[in-house]
Structure 1
């Protein structure tokens, strides 16, 4: 039986960014150098496939440091960053630790500290409870940062000081953040702005790519985890960008291919913590029901690479 034709637009860039790639390599290299187990505080990145693969290699994921025994094995902090209290607690226990915080998140941490040192109160645009937000706010004493989650909060906020700076989570919607920033700058004309955009290049590129796909697609599939901020934003951007419907799935088996029935063209993208093998699973799932033609839609080429921490590089060189 002939299968109905379906054109699949693959958004590019998609999937792993340099920060995610570095974080995963830190766990792999730590296992290679230190052996099993290597402990990881929180999910190294927000993707269960990645986490389960690393578990199979010997990584043990914990929520807090007090779950880690005193066995001399290292602990790794996730790509999202941690409050200053976490490395302080690790030092107090003489734990060996490796920091897999994305360098672009670390940039936000240092920028926030510089603003605070100059006597500014920080307005942080981000989502309450997200590990990156918790980590960034945890760089400073309590009360030094006010969280702004949306445009309504930006209109309503009454900061404790008029000497202000703003910073943002790196994985937000570019369009939503622009609206919030415009409100803050109108209300507080003297507010200090980031020296360079805080929303990372990977988030910006993936949202631009999914927009380019969504304007041509009737339906968009975003491959990513439900607790991944950048993946959730891709689904929202796809719907706003013109797709009649967009869904988030973790992998191929989670997709109901009948959702594409009646469609001529659909789009696929992947969040920054989703490996390409999961995109391939989704395509394979669609091929069970359709005769699929693939078209790449690329809006940017990425060549960013972040180096491993110096401690791992030194040991690898010696080995």
Structure 2
């Protein structure tokens, strides 16, 4: 029994959101995940196999392809300039009400960075088992290991993740309200309000990859972070626009220039009613999937010039 091309295409399109979500969590890259899903489609169309479960078959294909890509990507990440963060994801295309908590937790920047500590096989097994609820027979087929070996990989991966797994507050509305207050304080340059919203040991880290100016690679402490943000962002928000948006399931914003082009993203980790971490991504290579890109160097020059003019006018 064969399957028509149109039937295969229809089945694939139905499963595409799941395949992308698996690939993104393994790879931490939107563009690489999209390429891997496309490669999975080509392999599926070239295959003579008539699977008993199309979901299991395609999930196995995309997982194997993702593991291969991750192994080669790790070499590039070791040579990366400055802090490395996953490519920002604005919305997860795969929705499953029964696993909504696992899906939301696993796509956060903090969780994806923890996954980076695992081996490619551990990462794939953890994603399939803990996030998507696959059975061990399916996982074994996907990664080319025995069920016993996969169970061991799952235990090891879970142990690593549980040691430092991020814990976010469940109330999305509270986090979004705190983020709104944060961005208001940014715009106003209100040091006191910023300080009140930040955890004492808050960290602000930027991923520019040597491809764009970074506000700061790493700043630690509420006082330091509040003063730096208050000094810079009132000018930034006059020249550019901070568009509030969920980023990797967490409160955040997209920074756009005057023409609406994407200049960067910012995401906030919130716990205990305070912002624990501020992560920004301004490397244009990681932003192209979000739309037309701003010129980060030109935007930075404009901001610096405006700050100099502000300083000059205050001194008169």
| TM-score using structure 1 length | 0.28
Higher strand share: 1
| TM-score using structure 2 length | 0.28
Higher helix share: 2
- Point out which structure has higher relative CO (alpha carbons under 8 A, 6+ apart): 1
